[in-house]
Chains A and B, each alone.
Chain A
Amino acid sequence: DVKVTQSSRYLVKRTGEKVFLECVQDMDHENMFWYRQDPGLGLRLIYFSYDVKMKEKGDIPEGYSVSREKKERFSLILESASTNQTSMYLCASSFRLNTEAFFGQGTRLTVV
């Protein structure tokens, strides 16, 4: 079975802090994604990566950056957390684009 693991289930951070969300997959998948999910807005793509050190902006990249130094790990960075970044963050991976994506358990981030 594919396993996608996110480093934290719940996080509480203060406004202005730098926040790191980590995601690891164990199936040698090429592609990894970061989404955020908010009530009424669905899943929105923040960034994705199709190879090591390669990244592409999604629909809502402002205020975020990413890092993919190893194939299995994809990190989302909030440079200076703000209250409007309070959300559920979901990491996913897929073998190829156009194939099914598998999700981690999600990180519920609260910025106070």
Chain B
Amino acid sequence: QKEVEQNSGPLSVPEGAIASLNCTYSDRGSQSFFWYRQYSGKSPELIMSIYSNGDKEDGRFTAQLNKASQYVSLLIRDSQPSDSATYLCAVPSGGSYIPTFGRGTSLIVHP
């Protein structure tokens, strides 16, 4: 059973703080990991991808991957109210490597 787990939140942080979002997955064979941002009423938008253990930085976003512990996280530095959204973790899983999504973590950045 392929599973991707996320805390549903909401995670509330003040403007300018670091938001930390976490995701665990069950399929040890997974090789690629993605973070999507979804605003209310809109479709998911890809913001980060990571394939190797360690950190990957892109602007204010950092993805962290630990395959041994089977978790992937997303850090958002200098959080802005415009970052308020649901963040979905996606892990291609199973023999067919179909994208499997977590249920998402709701992030609220308050001024």
Contacts and interface: CB of A to CB of B under 8 A. Distances in A.
A103 B43 contact: yes
B92 A98 contact: yes
A29 B100 CA distance: 18
Nearest to A91: B43
A98 B42 CA distance: 24
B103 A41 contact: yes
B46 A102 contact: yes
Interface residues of A, number: 24
List the 3 shortest-distance A-B pairs measured between CB atoms, nearest first: A42-B103, A98-B97, A43-B101
A40 B43 contact: no
Q: By DSSP majority rule, is chain A's interface helix, strand, loop, or mixed?
A: strand
Interface in B2-40: 31-32, 34
Contact-residue size bin, chain B (C-beta under 8 Å from the other chain): 20 to 34
A94 to B, nearest CB: 7
Contact of B99 (A56, A101, A106): A101
Interface string B78-111: 0000000000101010001111111110000000
B45 interface: yes
B43 A42 contact: no
A97 B96 contact: yes
A44 to B, nearest CB: 9
Contact of B43 (A41, A45, A97, A104): A104
